[in-house]
Structure 1
Amino acid sequence: MNLLLPNAHALAVLLLVLLALVLFSRDRIPLETSSLVVLAVLAVGFELFPYTGPDGRELNSVDFFQGFGHQALIAVSSLMILGQGLIRSGALEPVGRLLAASWRRSPSLSLLLTLVICATLSAFINNTPIVVMLLPILIGVALRTGTSPSSMLLPVGLISIIGGMSTTIGTSTNLLVVGVAFDMGVAQFQMFDFIVPAMIASVVALLYLWLIAPRLIPERQVPLQSSVQRLYTAQIRLEQHSAATGKTLADAIEACDGKLKVEKIQRGPGVFVTPLPDVKLKAGDRITTTNTRDNLREFAHLLGGKLYSGDVEVDDSHPLEALNQQIAEVAITPTSRLLGVRIGQARLLSRFGLRLLALHRVSSGTDNSRATGLDNTVLRSGDVLLVQSTPNKLGVLKEGSDFLVLDGSVNLPKTTKAPIALAIMASVIVVAALGILPIAISAVFGVLALLVTRCLTWKEAMSALSIQVVMIIVASLALGMALMRTGGADWLAQVFLAASFGVPGFVILGGLMLAMAALTNVVSNNAAAVIGTPIAISLAQQLMLPAEPFVLAVLFGANLSFATPMAYQTNLLVMNAGGYKFNDFVRVGLPLLFLLWLVLTATLTYAYRI
């Protein structure tokens, strides 16, 4: 096959696609920032160098912003809010109670029941809130039985992704592939059009995750609490002869190597001095600070003062106590307002009543350094923070969406609005499934119904949206449009055909799905899906085969995000909560990926007679 180079605009877009894939795979660069870079480069590039296609249509720079109004993005955003409505109203509370009770009777059968329920719910609801709901239940089971949660959390996290493959609304990836394919002239996929191959794959995955996967996972524990010291609040009282008396607060902090964090200075009954650096310390001053036992004693020694807890001097008979305080692990959720915020700017103590002890993260392992050394760390989804707080403050956290408290308690919401939220969600699904309204429109009406019936407030609805998801979808749609309109997709399809010249169509189909699976485990699955869809349709046209199986190959391949923890946001959440290592995902996820690839390729080949 004589393969010519693409035109200059197509070549530039292909290079930008490569750059985008590199940016999307970089942990240090926020996904939303990478997406905005792609959008800006596309818009500026085509504004400075206009392009007119062979059909005479000009590709304008403003066309790349159409993704903000694309039906797929509207549907994805609306479904996120609908899922939040189910969680907030307690509509899924009976499911959580059922699973929590069943685990006490038969753990093995309960794992199967949990996998089935999780897969079923994920076919209609975004899997993130489902995983967030199930994690405390499963951790609670592990704590009560004295076992490691590692044999349960990873299978549940992976089955939630697989369940989402079954319907057009199961994941944002599905909605994007279906939407882009429809834009390119492929017949609109209805909600259950590909449920048969997805169900066959789900059954195979279910058996694997139930019977085999738990035996492949080593016992893991999150090594935070065992090696971190509790924090105590105390006062250092200065005497006439103390080394810090007569010196400034800045001098006192310097004498403690900068580790002393002064909360307040008490100068007599009811008299407090603002702790500014130039304040001169006097005899009788009480400096309030919070730190570990050893550090507090060291500070008192360096400043020449005495350590007090309340009105009692600290000694062997009166040790330091952290009254009404407990240590807990909290995970940053994918919808948290703290995503992308530096720990030093998160105001964990003033906003949430949390004192940070340590951080556990996928890329850096366990970081048990003091919180003062973590101020510049940017928080990411799935980060597990070891914190100290009061039971009341932790109870408030459980009702919000910023943190997932990993204390093993089952604290599911239950409100009178639960039946209403459930009815609204069911109506959205039924109306879309029957073809009465497109899912984008029915989901928007569903969101309106949640707000009107006060199942959700506007603040709660907006907290369900993820700027990362919105920006990656818009940027991916823009890249897909540029690939289609400039001929870049056709050229990539020709390269694919040239590399597989002479092989049967089903081999090309399987190769496309495997390529998407490899891509989705490195970069965003939404980006892989939108970039792969125009290539799949062009492949089908050049092979003179139906486009549907090739579109589904992209859809399924982009959902096979099992082999790395970075492949999907719930993977990171599960990884840190369960104390998994990177190799655990490879050990369990890679065989599952190849197993489902074979099943889905065979199923699509048989169904479409390729």
Structure 2
Amino acid sequence: MMIANKNNYFWICFCLIILLLIPYNAAAENIEGANSAVNLGLQNQLSSSIIFILLLITSLLVLFIWEPMPISLLAILVPIALAFFNDLSKMSVEEALSGFGNSATITVMAMFVFSAGIQRSGAVQLLGDKISYLTGSNPRRQISLISILTGFSSGLVNNTPIVAALIPMVRELGRKTKVSPSKLLIPLSYTAMLGGTLTLIGTSTNLLASQVSDRILGHPFSMFEFTGLGLIVLLIGIFYLLTIGYKLIPARLEVENDLTEEYEMSGYLSEVVLAPECSFVGKSFAEISNTKELDYDIIKIIRDEEEFMEPLDAKTLRAGDHLIIRAQEETLLKLIKRKGIKTLPEMVVDDQLIEQPLAGEKLIEIVVPAHSFMVNKTLTEINFLERYDCNVLALRRGEELTHQKMEDYRFQPGDLILLLATEKTFARLSKNNNFIIDRKYDSNLFDKTKMLISVAILTFFILTVSFNILPVAIAALSGAFLMVLSGVINKNDFFTAIDWEVYFLLSGLIPLGVAIEKTGAAAYIAAKILNLAEILPAIAIAMIIYLLTSIMANIVGNNASALLMLPIAIGTAQQLGVNPFAFVLITTFAASAAFASPVGYQTNLMVYSSGGFKFTDFILVGAPLQLLLALVVPFLVKLFWGF
């Protein structure tokens, strides 16, 4: 279902690009050496350079959706292609590689360190933990406070760690108050996106758009350039989520008190005892694992009131041992018949039975982020069970639960894994950037000193940028260095805090935006859009630009859609004779409006499986909000900045 819906989005954009490739004058001649959208008049004819860029964009969209490899690696193909075909791209080697040292890229990387410092101080979790005391069991009040906290936090700190920190709180809040967590998780993600539009540093998209605006128009964003507009948009989004959106968000997850119920484990976890005649007796766990013919896993061995879990390979089973087994009922019956084991039907296997606090074992959920090494890999390929000494009990992708043949399951971003792990494994996973731990708030995580220092450094960054004391990239690097110098971030954690997938994605795509401008492709596409100007006013053209950008954001993400559409939006505005900076703002806000797809924005992916959603749930809830903002944002931009 996911791929089908992604393809629906893709074909919409593909058809639009094909339409742009068709010249309106069939007898048109090629025009070589096209100028940029800034200096060029209407460009209705195709040149070889424009065709090259449009084909490159189309190929990139196909690869991004097909995703034969991570999109960050695919993005590296862009500077390679631009440099290799430099006659067509009009780009020198230095220009093709300019994204790797771009000020926006450097700033985004430094902001990851800021976000890690704020998150690891426990400040966000502390604030989130207080929500349950203020909202009671009123779901709309819960959405209001969650949205306000998330929205304003995301204006100052990268929204991905904000959402990662609040997902466990939101799920626990739902359990406590008997409200389906699904009703709360989509508002959490949407307001994180909307909150990113409050300030320059709210999202990497804003920083990229500022750099493009500065390069083409000589007008970068100030820290609070569009805060007023962002605040109105955030409030509109919250109002929508409390009214129409609340009715549209499905309650996919039942309110359960423990994770074994939530993952429907009652039919898969059983406690059995080994009879003397059992064929397992006298064999090591490794021998049994290597020769098993059925799909089952031994989760735990209980012997003389002592309990053992992974690693179990060296353990030899004895008569009278109790085992906690993960198996389907049919498989369990075959084990009873073939192996000589006995079930304990009066026992209920739940969180309390399989968790043993004294032994340091616990049930945990982990989310697979988009940049994780687990993406497109199986448990067997990455040797997960042996590497982390844990048991995988169940997997969730959206609404779908998997309990069988999990070793062959190929992970995708947003997947949720239910593990039984030791405290040592839990600590290792918590520090690993390849996983997002879905856990309850722990008061031990809160460090008041680190929180105050991290907030002070963030304030230093905001003030120096707001008053133009330092360039934004230098201020960001200074702040990131101070995070390490003050001890808020460990020197080793400095590099793990940075999302290198994002770095290579931005570094690869930034030169493409320059090439779109230099080759005249932006002016050509703008000319096609301007054919509508004969029948539509400028405000309607602006709404179309917003809608095209937001649709593309649902497919290829916020940063890619902004970099592709900003030169086109600027060219369109200049050829219309209206304020190009207004169109920059419209495009920037649209790129952060990927509400109608779980794959268009990282925070949507994070709540996709945590809320048990279907792909279509995001279309149902997000499309009306996307259309509403496509009407409202251009109107507000025209009102405040003028056309």
Alignment partner of 1:445 is 2:478: yes
Alignment partner of 1:43 is 2:79: no
The residue number in structure 2 matching 1:66 is: 98
Aligned counterpart in structure 2 of residue 603 of structure 1, from 619, 631, 636: 636
The residue number in structure 2 matching 1:542 is: 575
Amino acid at match of 1:514: L
Answer yes or no: is the 8 Å Cα contact 1:30–1:340 preserved in 2: no
The residue number in structure 2 matching 1:125 is: 157
Amino acid at match of 2:637: L
1:500-537 Cα deviation digits (max 9, x unpaired)? 33532222222211111121112222111001111122
Aligned counterpart in structure 2 of residue 494 of structure 1, from 504, 518, 527: 527
State the Cα distance separating 1:329 from its structure 2 match. Answer: 3.2
Answer yes or no: is the 8 Å Cα contact 1:82–1:425 preserved in 2: yes
Aligned counterpart in structure 2 of residue 154 of structure 1, from 186, 192, 214: 186
Which has the higher mean CA deviation after the structures are superposed, 491-500 or 338-347? 338-347
CA distance in 1, matches of 2:124, 2:280: 61
Q: Secondary structure at the match of 1:388?
A: strand
Alignment partner of 1:342 is 2:384: no
Q: Secondary structure at the match of 2:511?
A: helix
Which has the higher mean CA deviation after the structures are superposed, 218-227 or 206-215? 218-227
Aligned counterpart in structure 2 of residue 31 of structure 1, from 60, 63, 71: 71
1:31-60 Cα deviation digits (max 9, x unpaired)? 2232233343333333xxx3485xxxxx22
Alignment partner of 1:164 is 2:204: no
The residue number in structure 1 matching 2:541 is: 508
CA distance in 2, matches of 1:375, 1:29: 21
Paired residues for 1:180-579 under 5 Å: 180-221=212-253, 225-227=263-265, 256-257=292-293, 259=295, 291-292=326-327, 298=334, 302=338, 322=354, 324=356, 327-334=363-370, 336=372, 338-362=374-398, 365-370=399-404, 373-390=405-422, 393-394=425-426, 397=429, 401-406=433-438, 408=440, 413-415=445-447, 416-579=449-612
Answer yes or no: is the 8 Å Cα contact 1:86–1:418 preserved in 2: yes
CA distance in 1, matches of 2:504, 2:431: 27
State the Cα distance separating 1:261 from its structure 2 match. Answer: 7.7
Amino acid at match of 2:178: G
Answer yes or no: is the 8 Å Cα contact 1:162–1:202 preserved in 2: yes
The residue number in structure 1 matching 2:39 is: none
Distance 1:149 1:323, change over 3 A: closer
Answer yes or no: is the 8 Å Cα contact 1:224–1:360 preserved in 2: no
Paired residues for 1:125-144 under 5 Å: 125-144=157-176
Distance 1:414 1:289, change over 3 A: closer
State the Cα distance separating 1:193 from its structure 2 match. Answer: 1.3
Distance 1:345 1:290, change over 3 A: farther
- CA RMSD across the alignment: 3.8
Q: Secondary structure at the match of 2:613?
A: coil
TM-score (norm 1): 0.83
CA distance in 1, matches of 2:437, 2:237: 29
CA distance in 1, matches of 2:298, 2:170: 40
Q: Secondary structure at the match of 1:356?
A: strand
Distance 1:443 1:318, change over 3 A: closer
Distance 1:242 1:480, change over 3 A: closer
Answer yes or no: is the 8 Å Cα contact 1:253–1:260 preserved in 2: no
Answer yes or no: is the 8 Å Cα contact 2:598–2:605 preserved in 1: yes
TM-score (norm 2): 0.79
CA distance in 1, matches of 2:50, 2:444: 52
Distance 1:243 1:179, change over 3 A: closer
The residue number in structure 2 matching 1:177 is: 209
Structure 1: gaps spanning 5 or more residues: 54-58, 264-273, 308-312
CA distance in 1, matches of 2:130, 2:348: 45
1:124-156 Cα deviation digits (max 9, x unpaired)? 111111111111111111111222112211112
State the Cα distance separating 1:197 from its structure 2 match. Answer: 2.0
1:439-485 Cα deviation digits (max 9, x unpaired)? 21111111100111111113322222223312221222121122122
Distance 1:458 1:522, change over 3 A: same
State the Cα distance separating 1:176 from its structure 2 match. Answer: 0.9
Q: Secondary structure at the match of 1:458?
A: coil
The residue number in structure 2 matching 1:271 is: none
Answer yes or no: is the 8 Å Cα contact 2:557–2:594 preserved in 1: no
CA distance in 2, matches of 1:573, 1:472: 19
CA distance in 2, matches of 1:586, 1:12: 33
State the Cα distance separating 1:106 from its structure 2 match. Answer: 5.7
Distance 1:28 1:565, change over 3 A: farther
The residue number in structure 2 matching 1:5 is: 45
Answer yes or no: is the 8 Å Cα contact 2:379–2:385 preserved in 1: no
Answer yes or no: is the 8 Å Cα contact 1:9–1:51 preserved in 2: yes
CA distance in 2, matches of 1:112, 1:136: 17
CA distance in 2, matches of 1:316, 1:129: 43
Answer yes or no: is the 8 Å Cα contact 1:235–1:289 preserved in 2: no
State the Cα distance separating 1:424 from its structure 2 match. Answer: 0.6
State the Cα distance separating 1:547 from its structure 2 match. Answer: 1.4
Amino acid at match of 2:400: T
Answer yes or no: is the 8 Å Cα contact 2:297–2:327 preserved in 1: no
The residue number in structure 2 matching 1:113 is: 145
How much identity, in percent, do the aligned residues show?
26
Answer yes or no: is the 8 Å Cα contact 1:549–1:608 preserved in 2: yes
CA distance in 1, matches of 2:276, 2:347: 19
Which has the higher mean CA deviation after the structures are superposed, 423-432 or 469-478? 469-478
Alignment partner of 1:584 is 2:617: yes
CA distance in 1, matches of 2:443, 2:413: 22
Distance 1:346 1:233, change over 3 A: farther
1:546-596 Cα deviation digits (max 9, x unpaired)? 210111111011111111111101101112111122222122211111222
CA distance in 2, matches of 1:139, 1:210: 18
Structure 2: gaps spanning 5 or more residues: 1-23, 26-42, 255-260, 300-311
Q: Secondary structure at the match of 1:21?
A: helix
Q: Secondary structure at the match of 1:566?
A: coil
CA distance in 2, matches of 1:400, 1:140: 23
Answer yes or no: is the 8 Å Cα contact 1:91–1:421 preserved in 2: no
Q: Secondary structure at the match of 2:380?
A: helix
Answer yes or no: is the 8 Å Cα contact 1:232–1:290 preserved in 2: yes
State the Cα distance separating 1:603 from its structure 2 match. Answer: 0.9
State the Cα distance separating 1:262 from its structure 2 match. Answer: 9.9
Which has the higher mean CA deviation after the structures are superposed, 204-213 or 342-351? 342-351
Distance 1:92 1:323, change over 3 A: closer
Aligned counterpart in structure 2 of residue 102 of structure 1, from 129, 134, 143: 134
Distance 1:108 1:39, change over 3 A: same
